[in-house]
Amino acid sequence: MPRNAALQFQITLAAWKKIPRLEAHLQKAAHATFEHLPKKFHFAASANVLLTGNAKVKQLNHDFRGINKPTNVLSFPQYLPAELSRFGKQKVNIELGDIALAYQYIAAEAKRDHKLLKNHITHLVIHGLLHLFGYDHLMNRDAEQMEKLERKIMKSLGLPDPYAAPTAPNKTRP
The domain spans of the chain are: 6-156
CA distance 29 to 31: 5
Confidence class for position 92, pLDDT limits 50, 70, 90: confident
Q: What is the pLDDT, as a whole number, of residue 78?
A: 95
Point out the least confidently predicted range of 83-97, 99-113, 123-137: 83-97
Round the average pLDDT of the chain to a whole number and report it: 90
Residues in Cβ contact with 123 at an 8 Å cutoff, skipping those fewer than 6 apart? 150, 154, 159, 162
Tell me, what's the pLDDT at 168?
A: 65
Determine phi and psi for 115, rounding to 5 degrees: -110, 150
CA distance 91 to 42: 11
Buried b / exposed e across 146-173, counting CB within 10 Å, b at 16+?
A: bbebbbebbeebebeebeeeeeeeeeee
CATH architecture type of domain 6-156: 3-Layer(aba) Sandwich (3.40)
Task: Give the mean model confidence (pLDDT) for residues 125-130.
Answer: 97
% pLDDT > 70, the chain: 91
